Chains A and B, each alone.
Chain A
Amino acid sequence: MKISIVGKGSLSSFLEKLCWVFFFAGLALTVALPWILNFYGRIFWHDLGADYIRILIVLYPAALMALIVVWQLRKILVNVNAGNPFSLENARRVNIVSVCCLVVGGLFLAGIVPSLMAPMLGLAFLFLAALALVLSELVKQAAIYKEENDLTI
């Protein structure tokens, strides 16, 4: 069985639709974050106490960044499906993803969340930020080469 990767009815088209699901699910989770955290805290720690606010301070901006990342990825997939993957617009969008990852990484590394996992998550997001930055430069270079090729008659 051969799977179509890009174009109409392809894997990237499916992922684009999935981004909508993730975006609205993320939006609902962001709104319900105080209740979810309370519920989660009661199950695992019985009472989060003062940490409740500290965790919320980290999780709210992180959730907002995640929503921005999903939105940017959806827009990139729209461009990919339209047959225009290498554009300066896509490069800018990957750059925004990089900045979002950097913010999330910084938040987890700031030591606000009292968890051993937080610094590890922070480092993982910093790695992703660096990777996305390199990818954005790659897309930018590809867009420049493509324009040059398109304008060679």
Chain B
Amino acid sequence: MPIIVNLDVVMARRKISATQLADVVGITPANLSILKNNKAKAVRFSTLAALCRALRCQPADLLEYVEGTEQQEANL
């Protein structure tokens, strides 16, 4: 997936634990872990909005497009 979720970076900057964030956002810690480990296939706007609200950041702080990753995955 060429989209990288930089959730752990923003979480470290805000000094918030995964359990706390999951609780504030209203998702399960298991789902937050999927998101953090870049295993998610899609993110709902409502989840993204809740994350931005909880972490006081912009979607661009959480998501990053890395060129070439898609090609690497296709070659695998």
Is B69 an interface residue, CB under 8 A from the partner? no
Is A28 an interface residue, CB under 8 A from the partner? no
Please tell me the number of chain B residues within 8 Å of chain A, measured between CB atoms.
Answer: 12
Interface size class of A (residues with CB under 8 A): under 10
Is A153 an interface residue, CB under 8 A from the partner? yes
* Residues in chain B near residue A152, CB distance under 8 A: 40-44
Is B34 an interface residue, CB under 8 A from the partner? yes
B-facing mask of A104-119, CB < 8 A → 1, else 0? 0000000000000000
For the complex, give the distance between the alpha carbons of A147 and B41 in Å: 9
Is A50 an interface residue, CB under 8 A from the partner? no
Is A3 an interface residue, CB under 8 A from the partner? no
For the complex, give the distance between the alpha carbons of A147 and B42 in Å: 11
Which of B's residues lie within 8 Å of A, judged by CB?
A: 27, 31-32, 34-35, 39-44, 47
